[in-house]
Structure 1
Amino acid sequence: MSRNVLEKLMHQLCIDRATKQRFRDEPEKLLQRLALTDEEKAMLLSFDVAGLQRLGVNPMLTMGYWQENAPDRSPGAYMKALRPDAVDSSSVFSAALKR
């Protein structure tokens, strides 16, 4: 597992505009140069934040990564990605989500 590499990349994707743009334009090319497994690359490309958290990636980094880069950046979509088995967004609790 390459948790440190994942966390460093996700941090860069939260704060560095050039890295974010490269990830949008050519994500495979950006990931190619990093010491990541194919599974980890697939998780990043599919925004599998639940899988990344199961690998031990810091939840604050997964949330920042989602909010800065995901196609649907809404908190509800993020929570749905964390708990795909939830019936609806009201069945997922988060103190950070306010209505």
Structure 2
Amino acid sequence: ACARSLGIPARYVSGYLFTDSEDHLASHAWAEAWLDDAWYSFDVTNCLAKPERHLKLAVGLDYLDACPVRGMRRGGGIEQMHAQVEVAPLVRVQQQ
């Protein structure tokens, strides 16, 4: 919103961040701004400006546009939701 107020196109990005720690598997979000004819990532939480370890799932103007899970429930009863995430680097095979 701050970048857009300055006339800089910007968007909210949700996804995952690859880390070496299995304890850090959770959804993540960062911002991107359109500068010099390209989208640039700004992950202020992890002080990263290159999306080398980011897995982008959705983009939008804000969280509601790009939230990883969204829904509505009506009625009583018991409800449970479980999710499992595994993020790993892509192993590329070098062609000879």
Greater share of residues in helix: 1
Instruction: Return the structure number with greater strand share.
Output: 2
Please identify the structure whose Cα radius of gyration is greater. Answer: 2
